[in-house]
Structure formats: C-alpha cells, structure tokens
A and B are shown apart, each in its own frame.
Chain A
C-alpha cells in the first residue's frame, strides 16, 4: 500500500499541550477600528494631508511655539552668534599682520597709528572699504589698495604723495606735492633733500606750473631762491640778492625759457639789475639798481651829448 499524502508520521502523538489546550486561533478579521483606520489611510485627501499638511503643521507650529518664548529666542540667537564666532575665530580667517607697501617709514608708522588695529583679528571684523576710506583721507596718501593676503597678512599697498615743493605761507612752511595738496608741515617732517620753495597766496593751486618752472629754471639753480605767486595770477622767480623775474600769466615757462636763453647769451642776470619784468613778453623791461642806473644814465648822457654834438 502506498500512502497518498506526504510522508508525515509524527513520532509520538502530542497529546499533552495540544490536546488539552487547543491553541486559540486569532480572529483574522480586522477590528472595526482597524478597518476604519485602514480606509482612512487610503483616503486620498487624508494621504495628501499626512504627507504634506501634517509635517508642515508640525514644523511651522513647533517652531512657532518654540520661538514664541523670548528666552528660547535669545538662546537661539546666542547659539547662532556663538557658532558664528567660532567660525570667525578659526585660524583660516585670522589676520595677524599689517604689511604696508610703498609708504615711507614715517607714513607707515602714521598709518599704523591711525588704524590702530589690534591684531590678531578675524577677517570678518575688518571693514576693508572703511579702512580704505580712512587711509585715503590721509593727505600723504594718494591711493590705497587693501586686501587680505595669504597667511593672515593684511596687505596695504600705498601710493604715497611725495612732497615736491615747499610752500611758504605766513604761518608755516608747508610741504605740497605736484597737485598742490598739503602733505605736512616742514617742521614736523624734516626733509633730507632740498625742495624748491614757492610762496604767495594761491601758490598751491598752481603747483603743477611751479614744478615745470622749476624744471626750466634748472640752469639758474645756483642763484634761484624760489617762486612767488602774485595775485593768484602769475609767478615771480626770486633769485639771490632779491632779484626777480616777473613772468606773465600765460606762457610763463616759455617766457622763462627766453629769459634763460637771454642770460646765457648776454649774461643778463649777472648784471646789476633788480628785476626783469616779462609781464608783457613782447616788451621785456629791466629795472636796474641805483648804481647801475646812474652808470647807465651817465653812459646814456655821454651818448646823448656826443649825439648832440654831432647833431
């Protein structure tokens, strides 16, 4: 005989637990609540709500509830600040050195003194445009480039205004550059080399012209004393012994050139004159000193006399 079913022969009838207490089968049917809940979960509106609405409500509501307490708000702000500070204080953002390029040591010292940066600093604390404005406000600085270079160096490239002229005013001797900007007082900033001296009211406004005159007047260097601006219009060249060349308003350099040429040709400046008046270039006028005038008169008298004789 061949059994049809699978060969399952229990070794011993288990009539202990199984017979006396047959296992209670769980009811496979869902409870009413489970059934309703499942149907609710399958409702499209509910699904959309659970997916988007509820998280939104929880997030927005939760954060609102948390932030509505001012202490929490303060704490949060403090934490954010703290975090910000931690990041700012990192060595990557630290600035430890100010390097000033292109400025004389005195100016560099002045800049340092003026900025008075307390290194090390975080680069977040540096307001570079503000510093740039602050530096460029200084008269001795024409232009400043500011950047934070590698290794925490605050690189400051200065284009310095170099004093090119000394402007003598009633109060003081001032150093000015070619643009006429007053850089400093001569007293507070002793210069190593001599600079041309200019004077007169409004001389600083014509500093550029004065400089060109200085260049042209180079052959007269040994007797040149300075230039004086007269009536804010024109220049006088002051030579040694109080002699002066009065230049016109226009074409001053050309006229000065002519005077020098005249001097080189006829040694006009080595003669006994007080001034050469070139205010009208087509009619140069010499003022002679008293002795020279007498001599000149005498010579002219002789000439006149002889002339009269001949006449």
Chain B
C-alpha cells in the first residue's frame, strides 16, 4: 500500500462573519496517499475549496481562523510551520491550479517570465537553464510551438492553453502534490477532455499525487482513485472510487448520483433532492442533511452522526441509518 502523503486530522477552519461563525471546514479528516488521485466532491459552499486552501495555508486570517486540528504533510504539521518554511513548501512540494486560469496569470508578464519565476526562486536556476526547463515544461503539457508561446502574453492564449500553462507552472518544481481546484469547470467539454487526459498523463509519468476538487461526478469517475464527499463543511462519506459508485451509502451521495442526467440513459423524470444547502452560519450539532433527507429520523435532528466504517474496510459514512442507535429507531 502506498505511503500517506497528506493527512488531515480533525481540521477546523472557521470564518468569523458579522452574521456569526461559519464552520467552513468542520472536523475534517482524510488521507491522500502517494501517487493517488483523491477527489473531493460536493456542491458550492460545502467547504471543499477551503479544505485545499487550508492545506496551502492560503486562507486569509482574519476573517478565517484555524480552530483546531492538524494537516500532516510527510509527517510535519503544516499549520505549525513558520511563514518562511511554508513558502518553501508552497510551489516546491505542493502546487495548486485554479478554476479560472486568466485570473491566476499576470496579464502584463509573458508566459516565459511566469514559468521561469518559480524555477529561479525555488530551484535557483540561472536564466538560461530556467528557460530551457520552461520550454521543456511547455512541451510536456502538450503545447506545440513552445518557443513562440514562451514569449506570448496570457491574453493571446485560449482558455485551454492557459490552463495548460498553469499546469506547467505548477509542475515546474516537480511537486509531490498537485491540488487542482475545479480545473476544468470554466472550459468547454472537448477542452476539458484534453486537460483531464493531460492530468492523467502527468500522474502516470511523474507519479504526482493529485487532490482534485470538483462538483462533477463524471470527472470523479474518470479521474479518482479515492473519493471524499463533503456536505456543509463535513465529510459525509469516503471510499475508493469503484466502491462509491457501486455502493453509495449516504442518502446525499445516492441522491447526487441519481440527480445527474446521464447521456444515453434517458429517464422520464430526474430524481431531485428537495430543498437546498443549509445556511452555513451556526449549524447545530446534528446531521446537516437531515431536512433534505427522505430517511430522516429523530436522532438525525438532534445528534451528529460519526464518520465510521460500514461494510468495506475503507468505506466510511456518517449516517445514522448505519448505526445501531439509528437502526433501533
């Protein structure tokens, strides 16, 4: 079995707002193993991006606050590192790409300048070596005419090309972990297919671990080795990819899988989960999904279900339906 690379242990990231405390990440624990693609899925506001930002220590504080827990990266707690130590890890060992590549690239610098910057900073390469490496990276991410692209500006490239450049920058220091936060959401399907293909290719060639954040279960099925499902700041289910699609346990996971229209499988009517995501301010100590759940029991309204193994050894679910207390009802 592969070694653990990142371990989230009871992570709590809160935001203090005028309306009250928002527990964006509320007691979240899961593990990313070496060479594995882990997908975090969930709807807007479920805390999937804040989990990744906490790992990079990019959550703005205040209003954000680490209220507890640890994030172990190769055994070190990232939350205890000094700013300086952290910036050595960021970009070097852990790199991140975002949804909107245009807003992550500097519009007044050429692509070349932006790729060589981390190379000079982290790997201390001189200009000539950095340029050589940059051209290699641009070629690696599947862009022809690397030399020409090296001298162009972000606005001259298409959305798909920009995302490729972001991936090239992220890979520049050969990171152990690549965090991709909805990397294909802003792209057209045919371009999305290209980028996903590229990410699979990179994982195979470089054995990089990937933490992929997405709301698209189709992308999950294609990319993931292991899946973490989040809802309202909590992990409600986690399992290997085959397991979660074959035997989803949590009613929310089941609902998500049924609600998505699938090509060539026409249904008369789509299943829909009633209601909407709860207001994240001051959520109670109960199952946050209870008011949308068709199996809601009394205990769900009053008590928080623990995330525990049910069935297969690494398939965990937080739902009272699978607990003795719940079954008694």
Partners in one complex: no
